[in-house]
Protein backbone atom coordinates (compact mmCIF):
# COMPACT_ATOMS: atom_id res chain seq x y z
CA UNK A 1 0.00 0.00 0.00
CA UNK A 2 1.25 3.46 -0.83
CA UNK A 3 2.56 5.63 2.04
CA UNK A 4 -0.21 8.07 2.91
CA UNK A 5 1.56 9.95 5.69
CA UNK A 6 1.57 13.20 3.71
CA UNK A 7 -2.14 13.26 3.02
CA UNK A 8 -3.15 15.88 5.58
CA UNK A 9 -5.10 18.53 3.63
CA UNK A 10 -3.49 21.91 3.12
CA UNK A 11 -6.86 23.68 2.90
CA UNK A 12 -10.27 23.27 4.49
CA UNK A 13 -10.97 20.33 2.20
CA UNK A 14 -10.66 16.80 3.52
CA UNK A 15 -8.01 14.71 1.83
CA UNK A 16 -9.37 12.61 -1.03
CA UNK A 17 -7.92 9.15 -1.61
CA UNK A 18 -8.66 6.74 -4.43
CA UNK A 19 -8.27 3.19 -3.11
CA UNK A 20 -7.28 1.63 -6.41
CA UNK A 21 -4.34 0.72 -8.61
CA UNK A 22 -6.46 1.11 -11.77
CA UNK A 23 -5.18 3.67 -14.23
CA UNK A 24 -8.68 3.86 -15.72
CA UNK A 25 -10.20 4.96 -12.40
CA UNK A 26 -7.38 7.41 -11.83
CA UNK A 27 -7.90 8.99 -15.24
CA UNK A 28 -11.64 9.27 -14.63
CA UNK A 29 -11.18 10.93 -11.24
CA UNK A 30 -8.76 13.41 -12.82
CA UNK A 31 -11.68 14.72 -14.88
CA UNK A 32 -13.08 16.36 -11.74
CA UNK A 33 -9.98 18.58 -11.43
CA UNK A 34 -9.68 18.09 -7.67
CA UNK A 35 -6.60 17.04 -5.69
CA UNK A 36 -6.39 13.39 -4.71
CA UNK A 37 -3.91 10.69 -3.89
CA UNK A 38 -3.99 6.97 -4.57
CA UNK A 39 -3.34 3.96 -2.38
CA UNK A 40 -3.43 0.30 -3.33
CA UNK A 41 -5.59 -1.77 -0.96
CA UNK A 42 -4.29 -5.22 -0.03
CA UNK A 43 -7.43 -7.36 -0.08
CA UNK A 44 -8.53 -10.72 -1.44
CA UNK A 45 -10.83 -10.09 -4.40
CA UNK A 46 -12.03 -13.68 -4.76
CA UNK A 47 -15.85 -13.93 -4.94
CA UNK A 48 -17.41 -15.75 -2.00
CA UNK A 49 -19.41 -18.96 -2.55
CA UNK A 50 -23.00 -18.22 -3.54
CA UNK A 51 -22.36 -14.49 -3.70
CA UNK A 52 -24.32 -12.51 -6.29
CA UNK A 53 -22.37 -10.27 -8.70
CA UNK A 54 -23.88 -7.16 -7.10
CA UNK A 55 -22.92 -8.35 -3.62
CA UNK A 56 -19.37 -9.13 -4.75
CA UNK A 57 -18.88 -5.70 -6.30
CA UNK A 58 -20.32 -3.85 -3.29
CA UNK A 59 -18.38 -5.91 -0.75
CA UNK A 60 -15.08 -5.35 -2.55
CA UNK A 61 -15.70 -1.62 -3.05
CA UNK A 62 -16.30 -1.22 0.69
CA UNK A 63 -13.37 -3.48 1.61
CA UNK A 64 -10.95 -1.46 -0.53
CA UNK A 65 -11.98 1.82 1.09
CA UNK A 66 -11.80 0.36 4.60
CA UNK A 67 -8.37 -1.18 4.02
CA UNK A 68 -6.91 2.14 2.93
CA UNK A 69 -8.67 4.12 5.67
CA UNK A 70 -7.40 1.72 8.34
CA UNK A 71 -3.80 2.39 7.28
CA UNK A 72 -4.08 6.18 7.51
CA UNK A 73 -1.91 7.84 10.20
CA UNK A 74 -3.60 9.98 12.85
CA UNK A 75 -1.91 13.05 11.35
CA UNK A 76 -3.87 12.62 8.11
CA UNK A 77 -6.93 14.34 9.54
CA UNK A 78 -10.27 13.86 7.89
CA UNK A 79 -10.11 11.87 4.66
CA UNK A 80 -12.68 10.69 2.14
CA UNK A 81 -11.68 7.33 0.70
CA UNK A 82 -13.10 6.12 -2.61
CA UNK A 83 -13.45 2.39 -3.18
CA UNK A 84 -14.77 0.91 -6.40
CA UNK A 85 -15.11 -2.51 -7.98
CA UNK A 86 -16.68 -3.84 -11.16
CA UNK A 87 -18.13 -7.27 -11.86
CA UNK A 88 -19.35 -8.27 -15.33
CA UNK A 89 -21.93 -11.03 -15.70
CA UNK A 90 -23.00 -13.12 -18.65
CA UNK A 91 -25.49 -15.99 -18.54
CA UNK A 92 -25.46 -15.73 -14.75
CA UNK A 93 -21.68 -16.16 -14.47
CA UNK A 94 -19.12 -13.60 -13.40
CA UNK A 95 -16.65 -12.57 -16.09
CA UNK A 96 -13.15 -11.73 -14.96
CA UNK A 97 -10.32 -9.92 -16.69
CA UNK A 98 -9.08 -12.17 -19.51
CA UNK A 99 -5.37 -11.60 -18.97
CA UNK A 100 -4.42 -13.17 -22.32
CA UNK A 101 -5.34 -12.82 -25.98
CA UNK A 102 -6.74 -16.33 -26.12
CA UNK A 103 -9.06 -15.87 -23.14
CA UNK A 104 -10.18 -12.46 -24.40
CA UNK A 105 -11.08 -13.93 -27.77
CA UNK A 106 -13.00 -16.69 -26.01
CA UNK A 107 -14.97 -14.09 -24.02
CA UNK A 108 -15.85 -12.03 -27.09
CA UNK A 109 -16.92 -15.10 -29.04
CA UNK A 110 -19.28 -16.12 -26.25
CA UNK A 111 -20.77 -12.62 -25.87
CA UNK A 112 -21.32 -11.65 -29.50
CA UNK A 113 -24.94 -10.84 -30.19
CA UNK A 114 -25.67 -11.10 -26.45
CA UNK A 115 -26.24 -8.80 -23.48
CA UNK A 116 -23.76 -8.44 -20.63
CA UNK A 117 -24.43 -6.72 -17.28
CA UNK A 118 -21.70 -4.68 -15.61
CA UNK A 119 -22.07 -3.98 -11.89
CA UNK A 120 -19.94 -0.91 -11.04
CA UNK A 121 -19.98 -0.56 -7.26
CA UNK A 122 -18.86 2.60 -5.52
CA UNK A 123 -18.07 3.32 -1.88
CA UNK A 124 -17.15 6.60 -0.17
CA UNK A 125 -15.84 6.30 3.39
CA UNK A 126 -15.52 9.31 5.71
CA UNK A 127 -12.61 8.59 8.06
CA UNK A 128 -13.86 11.15 10.59
CA UNK A 129 -17.22 9.47 11.16
CA UNK A 130 -16.75 5.97 9.75
CA UNK A 131 -19.83 6.56 7.59
CA UNK A 132 -19.81 4.69 4.28
CA UNK A 133 -22.03 5.59 1.32
CA UNK A 134 -22.45 2.89 -1.34
CA UNK A 135 -24.18 2.37 -4.66
CA UNK A 136 -24.23 -0.21 -7.45
CA UNK A 137 -24.56 1.27 -10.93
CA UNK A 138 -25.71 -1.32 -13.48
CA UNK A 139 -24.82 -0.97 -17.15
CA UNK A 140 -26.38 -3.16 -19.85
CA UNK A 141 -24.15 -3.76 -22.86
CA UNK A 142 -25.22 -5.55 -26.01
CA UNK A 143 -22.40 -6.84 -28.20
CA UNK A 144 -22.54 -6.95 -31.98
CA UNK A 145 -22.46 -10.30 -33.74
CA UNK A 146 -19.06 -9.97 -35.39
CA UNK A 147 -16.88 -12.65 -37.04
CA UNK A 148 -13.80 -14.08 -35.39
CA UNK A 149 -11.49 -12.11 -37.68
CA UNK A 150 -12.96 -8.80 -36.54
CA UNK A 151 -12.75 -9.77 -32.88
CA UNK A 152 -9.15 -10.88 -33.27
CA UNK A 153 -8.23 -7.67 -35.10
CA UNK A 154 -9.74 -5.58 -32.32
CA UNK A 155 -7.88 -7.44 -29.59
CA UNK A 156 -4.56 -7.07 -31.36
CA UNK A 157 -5.17 -3.35 -31.87
CA UNK A 158 -6.22 -2.41 -28.32
CA UNK A 159 -5.09 -5.37 -26.16
CA UNK A 160 -7.79 -4.90 -23.47
CA UNK A 161 -6.58 -7.86 -21.44
CA UNK A 162 -6.97 -6.00 -18.13
CA UNK A 163 -10.66 -5.21 -18.76
CA UNK A 164 -13.58 -7.41 -17.74
CA UNK A 165 -15.54 -8.06 -20.91
CA UNK A 166 -12.44 -7.68 -23.12
CA UNK A 167 -13.48 -4.36 -24.69
CA UNK A 168 -12.79 -0.69 -23.96
CA UNK A 169 -15.93 1.31 -24.63
CA UNK A 170 -13.91 4.54 -24.40
CA UNK A 171 -11.70 3.37 -27.25
CA UNK A 172 -11.92 1.21 -30.37
CA UNK A 173 -13.97 -1.30 -28.40
CA UNK A 174 -17.05 0.86 -29.02
CA UNK A 175 -17.12 -0.72 -32.50
CA UNK A 176 -17.93 -4.06 -30.88
CA UNK A 177 -21.02 -2.74 -29.11
CA UNK A 178 -24.59 -2.49 -30.37
CA UNK A 179 -25.97 -0.56 -27.39
CA UNK A 180 -25.12 0.70 -23.90
CA UNK A 181 -27.82 1.39 -21.31
CA UNK A 182 -26.81 3.15 -18.10
CA UNK A 183 -27.63 6.11 -15.87
CA UNK A 184 -23.93 6.97 -15.72
CA UNK A 185 -21.76 6.86 -18.87
CA UNK A 186 -18.53 6.64 -16.86
CA UNK A 187 -19.63 3.59 -14.86
CA UNK A 188 -18.70 1.16 -17.62
CA UNK A 189 -15.14 2.51 -17.70
CA UNK A 190 -14.80 1.77 -13.99
CA UNK A 191 -15.74 4.75 -11.81
CA UNK A 192 -19.31 6.16 -11.82
CA UNK A 193 -18.63 9.89 -11.68
CA UNK A 194 -22.28 10.98 -11.48
CA UNK A 195 -22.75 8.87 -8.35
CA UNK A 196 -19.37 9.90 -6.96
CA UNK A 197 -19.99 13.63 -7.33
CA UNK A 198 -23.34 13.18 -5.58
CA UNK A 199 -21.60 11.42 -2.70
CA UNK A 200 -18.85 14.04 -2.46
CA UNK A 201 -21.33 16.91 -2.39
CA UNK A 202 -23.38 15.12 0.28
CA UNK A 203 -20.17 14.75 2.33
CA UNK A 204 -19.57 18.50 2.08
CA UNK A 205 -16.68 18.26 -0.35
CA UNK A 206 -16.47 21.42 -2.55
CA UNK A 207 -16.36 20.44 -6.22
CA UNK A 208 -17.09 23.68 -8.05
CA UNK A 209 -15.02 26.45 -6.47
CA UNK A 210 -12.99 29.46 -7.56
CA UNK A 211 -9.19 29.33 -7.16
CA UNK A 212 -9.49 31.69 -4.17
CA UNK A 213 -12.09 29.50 -2.49
CA UNK A 214 -9.97 26.42 -3.03
CA UNK A 215 -7.09 28.07 -1.09
CA UNK A 216 -9.24 29.06 1.88
Q: Are 190 and 86 in contact (CB under 8 A)?
A: yes
Q: For this structure, is 85 an active site residue?
A: yes
From 85, 133, 136, 184, the catalytic residue: 85
Dihedral angle of Cα 162, 45, 25, 125, to the nearest 10 degrees: 180
DSSP 141-204: EEE----HHHHHHHHHHH--TTSTTS--TTTGGGGGEEEEE-S-TTTTTT--HHHHHHHHHHTT
Q: Are 44 and 36 in contact (CB under 8 A)?
A: no
Known catalytic residues are 85
Amino acid sequence: MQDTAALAPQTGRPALILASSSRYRRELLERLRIPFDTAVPAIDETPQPGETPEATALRLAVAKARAVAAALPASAGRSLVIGSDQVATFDGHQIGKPGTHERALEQLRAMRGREVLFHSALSLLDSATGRTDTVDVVTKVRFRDLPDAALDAYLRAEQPYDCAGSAKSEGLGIALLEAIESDDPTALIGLPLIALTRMLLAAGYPLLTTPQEARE
